[in-house]
Structure 1
Amino acid sequence: MSDKASSVGSEGERTLVDAVISELPGGVMVIDRDGKVVHANRAAREILAVGLDEGDASPLAGRLLHEIRAPLEAMRHSAHKAEIVLPAVMVGRGARIIGFSSRALPETGSLVVSFADITDQRAKEREDEHRRRLADMGKVVSSVAHEIRNPVFAISSLAQVLREEESIVAEADLVGVVDKILAETGRIGRLVEDLLAFGRERDLDLRRVDVVREIEEALADLRKVLPPVDGVRVPLRLLVADSLRDDPHWMLDADAFRQVVVNLVRNAWRAVVSRGRLSSDGLVEIRLSHHRVKGEAWLEVAVQDNGIGIPAELRKKIFEAFYTRDPKGTGLGLAVVRRLMRQMGGTIRLHSEVDRGTTFVVRLPPPAKDGGE
């Protein structure tokens, strides 16, 4: 083969390599011995927000290059020339995370740096770890709750029997003591139920459920157990969209759905009571409607209160297990809601203003379409 043919072949190979590198999904750039970027593929320019014209660099690119410059220089002068993984860099208000690795080219003194936006990957890793920890915690919590449940039930049953004894009824002081026992065992019982709900992983029983009736029955039960404060009860109001009055059925797990509604309404009730708005305009409102997502109708339940509201810095914490601002709360209500919504394929979000109130919105997807029909 002639030198000319060899040259043409080498040029063709370089063109092919450049074309392949240019289309790689990950960022690739070459830094020469003077620290100058001499080549960056399309993905690198997109990730670093660098224009396609040579020399058009962005502050983001400069920031990232500055962050990794020290380990790159250390690698250049090290005897170790194999690929190394560089520290990930977090940038921007959206907290994007860029992961880097580099390999030295001893024959030219250049460095090849490859990188990718790993924000979603890191978020998934954190989420997976969080779920594993919750699962482990749930097993322990469930075991402890079962151990507590039986003796508490026995104490409560005995106190109920004593409460009906004539000798006890005749003594006001004794009646007060027994009522206190009943109140406290009731509180512990609710804690145990929250613990069991949090620790329980069960298969969903999906069926067509009348969601209006489920909510109405849940509210009726809550009206019986949520006590008045200073002689006043917090109104629990249900508003149903016409479309759901016509057909109130949805494919879901009835027990899980009711638990979500009960926990959200209890949470809203506590927020109203904490603000002391009972004698005037304290209110918990539940709105049931459809919400369209990409052309499909999802079931939406919004639970709104005009209570104390949630400060911005606490909004990420409120779904954490055992976090509560209520001394009498378990800190599990919203954690259970989030777990159940995820299990049912739904979403939960909130809007809150301090001293004005909070709205939690849960949405459940339509039934999966049977591809065989």
Structure 2
Amino acid sequence: MHWLVLLRVVVSLLLLGGTLLLQAREPADLIRPPLVGPCGILALVLALSLIYRAILPRVRNLRSFAYTQVMGDIALVTALVYLTGAEESIFASTYNLSIITGSIMLYRRGGLIAASLSSLLYGGMLNLRFFSVLPQAFKTTLRSAQPLGSEVFFSIMINVSAFFIVALLSSYLAEQAKVSREELEVAQSDLSRLTLLHEHILQCLPSGLLTCDSQGRIIYANQSALSMMGAELQSILDKPLEEVFPQIPSRLFQEAARGVHDPQMRRQNMKYTRPDGRVLELGFSLAPLRGGDGALMGTIFHFQDLTQTVAMEQHLRRMDKLASIGEMAARIAHEIRNPLASVSGSIQILQKELSLEGPNRRLMEIVVRETKRLNGLLTDFLSFARPEHPKPKKMDLSKALRETLTLFMEQARSSCELKVQISPGLTMYADSKKLRQVVWNLLNNALEAMPQGGNLTVRASWASGALPAGLNTQETWLVMEVEDSGVGIPEEVKDKVFDPFFTTKEKGTGLGLSIVHRLVEEMGGRIEMQSQPGKGSRFMVWLPSGSIPQEEEHGAEPERTAPRPT
């Protein structure tokens, strides 16, 4: 309806301007009777149009407002026709504009009502003029006498017929336009719902999806893709896929761009480094993107974050490996320990009974010392292979960590700077002795990585954020971190640091971290390592808080003894 009101304004201006242009030859003509009336009517129509435009946003009953507007227009047109010569008026055709307006706004009913009202007013005005009831508005040079009956009848018949023909045609077109508009709205609504559903499906996919055009430039990315990549949409749009993922073999991308179906394109793995430095293990596949006619349109790049899956697989493989090595170590340790115990006991008896002096005494001391070292090594083997059954009790991890740190630093007498960030009240249900052994071994490993001194940082808090793969998210977890600024671990040996008997040090059994790994797993936790050569390493231990029985709520704290270094 807004545009119809604006159209009224335009038509009023055109009629007013045309009338003035054709009839006013001199400025004085503008105030003479023949022009004052028509110009006043057209000015009134223009003013009403502006008023309608102003009040339209506040109108609630648009249908009644439309009827009022159409009827008012017809009344003004009748006045304009009368003032411009009645049967001689050139404005009789303007009735059709009001009829068309009624048909557009009110359809067939409104068009026929407008045509009927126009016929009544126009015919009544000509009949009143014919019977001299209505005088001539202004004297004209064309006719001064009364109109003939045949002329009046002919004029009424022609115009009334035109009114109803215009009403029928315009209302028919308006209704057809309405039907077409409704069908179009339904089609657009269906298309919008389908498009929205399609977009929701793509955005809700847990895997990443990128679409490239025929030039290999990215034109679409779903939310999962952006989350995995750690990027904003605008930062990757219109960029070549090979630039964003340089790890993709160019051969695969070129074959996908040519529409080649290669079995190797179905699934590949690669490492992807996010802008924040985090490295992900991605599984990806490439496929040609074709249109409805089968024409090649571009490439689809589908990928998933397999980092946790790969980490879980590595963890399971490591556990299987450690289990087999542990069994072997246990058997070897038992086979060696029995004769070693006999040798050790015999040597100690000989040492007491023999009075050795000089070199013989030193040799005997070496034998005794090395026998004890061998026995300690076998004890470590057995601790790794067949650890003692855990005896979990309620304990304050915060307090236990601080006590272990104090005792360790007193014995180590290191020049390292210790930084402690331990949250208070970290209560859990665990074997205190085994937990202290874990902390002791990690601290010892950190100091050995900093022979020239450095920074040793120990943190402990309730775990927040993402947990390692395989951990129960319904459990409450604590996380401990031991970080050093030492030499770091070379990339090629990172996967071996928890393997038994593996060490990069000149001295050492290679069992310290293996025992830590085994103890943490026994407690239902997880240990992970991050390291950069030349910058240091960080070991993170996740432990479940466990359930604390009621009878142990006031139990005694476990004994505070230092674990034996490994």
- TM category (shorter chain) comes to 0.5 to 0.7
- Given that 1:351 and 1:359 are in contact with CA atoms closer than 8 Å, whether structure 2 keeps it comes out as yes
Q: Does 1:182 align with 2:358?
A: no
Q: Contact conserved, 2:530 with 2:539, CA < 8 A, in 1?
A: yes
Q: In the superposition, relative to structure 1, how do residues 322 and 58 fare at CA in structure 2: closer, same or farther (>3 Å)?
A: farther
Q: Deviations over 1:295-350 (max 9, x none)?
A: x996979899xxxx731346957655334455442121232123323433376889
Determine helix, strand or coil for the equivalent of 1:62: helix
Q: Which moved more, 1:181-190 or 1:192-201?
A: 192-201
CA contact (8 A) 2:428 2:544 kept: no
Match of 1:98 among 261, 278, 282: 282
1:41 corresponds, among 222, 246, 253, to 222
Q: Deviations over 1:260-284 (max 9, x none)?
A: 3554576688789x77x9xxxxxxx
The 5 A counterparts of 1:299-338 are: 310-313=486-489, 319-324=498-503, 326-338=505-517
Give the helix-richer structure, 1 or 2.
2
Cα deviation, 1:49-78, whole Å, max 9, x if unaligned, reads 564469834688733178255213324657
Is residue 251 from structure 1 mapped to residue 429 from structure 2 by the alignment? Answer: yes
Residue type of the partner of 1:330?
T
Q: 1:28 aligns with which of 186, 190, 209?
A: 209
Which residue identity does 2:487 align to in structure 1?
Answer: P
Structure 1 position 85 matched with structure 2 position 269: no
Q: Which whole-Å deviations, capped at 9, do the CAs of 1:21-46 have from their partners, x for residues lacking one?
A: 23322122334545344543333344
Structure 1 counterpart of 2:377: 191
Structure 1 residue 183: deviation in Å? 0.9
Residue 207 in 1 paired to residue 207 in 2?
Answer: no
8 Å CA contact 2:217, 2:238 repeated in 1: no
Q: CA deviation at 1:176?
A: 2.6
Q: Within 5 A, what are the aligned runs for 1:1-373?
A: 8=187, 11=191, 14-15=194-195, 16-48=197-229, 51-52=232-233, 56-57=237-238, 62-64=243-245, 67-75=248-256, 80=261, 84-92=265-273, 93-104=277-288, 107-110=294-297, 111-165=299-353, 168-200=354-386, 203-208=389-394, 251-260=429-438, 263=441, 291=461, 310-313=486-489, 319-324=498-503, 326-344=505-523, 345=525, 366-368=545-547
Equivalents in 1 of 2:539, 2:231: separation in Å? 41
Partner Cα separation in structure 2 for residue 339 and residue 151 of structure 1 = 27
Alpha-carbon distance in 2 for matches of 1:336, 1:268? 15
Alpha-carbon contact 2:322-2:499 (below 8 Å) kept: no
CA displacement at 1:162 relative to structure 2: 0.5
Indicate the residue corresponding to 2:71 in structure 1: none
Distance of 2:224 and 2:383 partners within structure 1: 46
Q: What residue in structure 2 maps to residue 280 of structure 1?
A: none
**CA distance in structure 1 between the aligned counterparts of 2:252 and 2:373, rounded to whole angstroms:** 58
CA 1:57–1:330 in 2, change beyond 3 Å: closer, same or farther? same
Tell me: CA distance 1:48–1:254, structure 2 relative to 1, closer, same or farther (3 Å).
Answer: closer
- Distance change >3 Å, CA 190–CA 62, structure 1 → 2: same
Q: Deviations over 1:122-157 (max 9, x none)?
A: 233223322222222222222211111111111101
What is the TM-score normalised by the length of structure 2? 0.46
- Give yes or no for contact 1:48–1:61 (8 Å, CA) kept in 2: no
The one-letter code sitting in structure 2 at the alignment partner of 1:142 is: A
Q: 1:100 to 1:215 in 2, by over 3 A?
A: closer
Query: Matches of 1:160 and 1:27 in 2, distance apart?
Result: 69
The amino acid that maps onto 1:100 is F
The answer to which of 18-27 and 34-43 deviates more is: 34-43
Amino acid at match of 2:486: I
Seen in structure 2, the aligned counterparts of structure 1 residues 72 and 261 have a Cα distance that, compared at 3 Å, is closer
Match of 1:67, SS state, is coil
Judging changes above 3 Å, is the alpha-carbon distance between structure 1 residues 27 and 65 closer, same or farther for their aligned structure 2 residues? farther
C-alpha contact (below 8 Å) 2:260/2:288 kept by paired residues = no
Shift of 1:108: 2.8
Classify 1:103/1:320 alpha carbon distance in 2 versus 1 (closer, same or farther; 3 Å).
Answer: same
Based on CA coordinates, which of the two structures has the bigger radius of gyration?
2
Letter paired with 1:206: P
RMSD (Å) for aligned C-alpha atoms: 5.5
Aligned CA distance change for structure 1 residues 183 and 264 (closer, same or farther; 3 Å)? farther
State the distance in 2 between where 1:271 and 1:81 align.
Answer: 48
For residues 299 and 80 of structure 1, the distance between their equivalents in structure 2, rounded to whole angstroms, comes to 47
Aligned pair in 2 of structure 1 residues 80, 59: CA closer, same or farther (>3 Å)? closer
Change (3 A) 1:46 1:361: closer
Q: Distance in 2 between matches of 1:201 and 1:193?
A: 10
CA distance in 1, matches of 2:501, 2:325: 11
User: Secondary structure of 1:123's match?
Assistant: helix
Indicate the SS of the match to 1:340.
helix
Q: Secondary structure at the match of 2:486?
A: coil
The residue identity in structure 2 corresponding to 1:334 is L
**Structure 1: segments with no counterpart, 5+ residues:** 227-232, 236-240, 278-284
Equivalent residues of 1:347, 1:362 under 8 A apart: yes
Identity %: 25
SS in 1 for 2:330: helix
The count of aligned residue pairs is 337
Answer with 190-199 or 62-71: which moved more: 62-71
Contact 1:290/1:297, CA 8 A, preserved across alignment: no
Relative distance call for 1:270 and 1:98 in structure 2 (3 A) is closer
CA displacement at 1:116 relative to structure 2: 2.1
C-alpha contact 2:212 2:300 (8 A) present in aligned 1: yes
Q: Cα distance 1:204–1:87, how it changes in 2: closer, same or farther (>3 A)?
A: same
| Cα gap change, 1:326 to 1:202, in 2 (>3 Å) | same
Query: Structure 1 length as normaliser, TM-score?
Result: 0.65
Residue 338 of structure 2 aligns to which amino acid in structure 1? N
Which whole-Å CA distance do the structure 2 matches of 1:299 and 1:47 have between them? 24
* Residue identity matched to 2:278: G
CA distance in 2, matches of 1:338, 1:139: 16
